[in-house]
Every structure is written in structure tokens, then in C-alpha cells.
Amino acid sequence: MKKVLLGSTALIAAGVFAVPAMAQSAAPGKQPQPLRLGIGGYFQAYGVYVSQPDGVGEYGQNRREFDIKREAEIFFTGSVKLDNGLTVGAQVELEAEVCSDQIDESYLWFEGGWGKLILGSENSAGYLLSVGPPSVDGNFDGLDPNYRIINGLGSGALNRAGEAWLVNISGDSEKFTYISPRFAGFQVGVSYTPDNSEEATAGQVRAKGGSFAGMPSNKQSDSSVARWEDVIAVGVNYTNRFGPVSLAISGSYERGSLSGCVVAASCAAYDDRETWGAYAKVGFSGFEVGGGYWEDDNGLRGKNKSKAWGGGVTYGVGPFVVGASYLNSQRQMPGLDDDKMQRVLVGGRYTYGPGMDLRASVQWYGLESDRTRPTADGDSWAFVLGTTVSF
């Protein structure tokens, strides 16, 4: 299997280096225009009021009820179409705040009639081709929410059911991704990631020491954070219109092999990791209705699977969109009852300018866990008002 992966990677790499050469020779005597980057991005700011169980030993104990949540990124992005029809582009996403991953995503891409090739730190093909549920505010109930506002959703003794609509094993780790042209409504994509440690955050990639440290180790020295290598992700979607009705369907699959361990016993609880998901959405007369389902074995041996299902509906007229969504997720816990979470979000948004939205929602979270871990139980309410500005 690894030989097949390495051979495929070599072919992709050869294509990456061959494409610029083709571009330079496409128009003899005429220099192509250079690639220039512009600036884009977004800024989000929310006022959030949360009511959660705050008794002694409960997950909301000693937690504030009101806070300001924000997220912002600056994009350096651009593309140029060459005389031979090839389009070359680049994008670098800078976190507009202090964090451990200051550069969020950074990649180069090539596109033509044959499809699109992406090289660098970007999400997988399974993520990029997933259609996502109808949502009034994807920052809280989208494919990959930006915010976690309930303290009971976490790790350790807290509830480990997830609040996202999609599992992305490889994240923003360095990868090759190929996405095909759309044909008869269908589009497919595949990604290969050597290892799923994101740049400068943890594990093998931090140990690389940049471009001057040779090749990275294929073993992990401890079990504090499991890592997977040779990650393959596949995505497919179908979109079409039938008169006034729009239809979008997608499926994703991702699998990674557990990295070797310096001390074998430290990896005893871990295994190869596998996840898959399926989603659908229908639109008509201002309405969008859809839902999805995913499973993830978490790369752990024994009874440790996570799964989630749910759906949403939105209605839009002019600058207004209103809607609701529901998500039900579970995480198996060895020797304990499953961790469970339900989330209901009802809200709306108003577009007051180009790329500018005012958003409001009421959110309910119901957490349930084993009776031996009461800190992960209870109902919480959140009231959210904020704005998002894209530029």
C-alpha cells in the first residue's frame, strides 16, 4: 500500500513541477504575467451570554455568563491565467490574533480543463467537497464551527461528544489534493497527507526543524497526542438543478495509519483511524432543507466510536434568512455509558452590506454522560448576537 501511495505522490509531484514549465513555453516570445497577491479575509465579533450548570462540581462552576468571542483572518490571495489556459494561484491565511498556529492555511494551486491540483497546508478533499447542512450561522452549527461556548464539551472528565458536522483527520497538514472537473453534476477529489501533524503545533512536524532538518521521524516518542500517517481522503459530490429545485449530495471517507512508536507500549490503546460521512441538501422557493451523518473510530482500539446525525432548515427572502438546526452526537466510552450531546439552534441573519451580516441565535445544549461523571451532564442555554464582515 505504501508503495502505491509513494508512487502516486511521485506522479503528482512530477505534475506540479511540469505545469509551470508548460506555462513558460506556452507563448514563445511573450512573457506571462506574474502572480500578484491581494488582501482579503474576515472579521467576526459576538456577544455571548451562556447559562450552564454552575453548582459545585458542575462544568459551569466559576464560569462567566457573558463574554465577547471573536475570530479574524487575513488572506493573501491571488491567481493568474496564463496564455495556455492554465491558472496558477496561491493563498496564505494569517490568523489576526495571537495563537499557536499563526499561519492557518498556506497553499499553491494549479487549475485547468483537467481539474485542480492543490499543494500545501489545506483541508482534505473530503472536507472541501462536503456540501454541509443548511445553517443560519455556520460559525456555531456549520461543518466545522469556529466557536465552542459550552464548557461541558471538552476532554478529560468532560463530555466528549462532538459538536462538528464533519471529522477531518488530516486537518490543515501538508498534503497533495486533486479535484476533478465537474461532469454531469459529479465532482470527485482525493488527498494524500504524509502525516497529520500541523505545521509548528505538535508532534513530528515541530521536530522537523523547518527545511534544513532532513526527513522527519516516522515514530512518535509518547502517547500524549496520537498521530496518523499516509492519510488518504476521498470526497465526492453531486449538484444539479431540476427546474426550481436545487440538489446537493456529498460523501467523504478518510483513513490514516497509526505512526510507529519509540516505546511500543505507549501506543497500545491506539490503532489506524477511519472516518466517513454523507450529506444532502435540497433548495426550493427560498427554503433549504438537509442533513447528514458521520462516524469516526477515533483511532482507538475497542469500544471508542463517535457518530453524529442531524439536519437543518433555512428560509431566505431578500437580505433576511431565518432557520433552525439539530445535531445529535455520541461517543462510546469503554466501561462507561456513552457520552451524548444534543444541540438545537434557532436564529437568523440580516445582510446589511456586501459581505456584512448581523447574526442572532438562541442555542440549547443537552449533555448526558455516565453517572460516575456528573461534571459532564446538564442542559445549557446560549444567547448570541454578533456580526461578520468579509473583505
User: What is the per-residue pLDDT across 240-254, written as a single tens digit (0 to 9) for each?
Assistant: 999 999 999 999 999
Specify the pLDDT at position 355.
Answer: 94
**Is the per-residue pLDDT at 387 higher than 90?**
yes
Domain boundaries in the chain? 2-209+219-390
Cell of 65: 455568563
Contact between residue 281 and residue 248 where contact means Cβ atoms under 8 Å apart: yes
Q: Tell which wins on pLDDT, 123 or 334.
A: 123
Specify the pLDDT at position 270.
Answer: 87
User: What is the per-residue pLDDT across 270-328, written as a single tens digit (0 to 9) for each?
Assistant: 899 999 999 999 999 999 999 999 999 999 888 889 999 999 999 999 999 999 999 99
Specify the pLDDT at position 75.
Answer: 95
- Does the domain at 2-209+219-390 match CATH 2.40.160.10? Answer given as yes
Contact between residue 207 and residue 259 where contact means Cβ atoms under 8 Å apart: no
User: What is the per-residue pLDDT across 45-71, written as a single tens digit (0 to 9) for each?
Assistant: 999 999 999 988 888 889 999 999 999
User: What is the per-residue pLDDT across 178-235, written as a single tens digit (0 to 9) for each?
Assistant: 999 999 999 999 999 998 876 544 444 444 445 555 677 777 766 556 788 999 999 9
Task: Provide, rounded to the nearest whole percent, the portion of the chain with pLDDT above 90.
Answer: 58
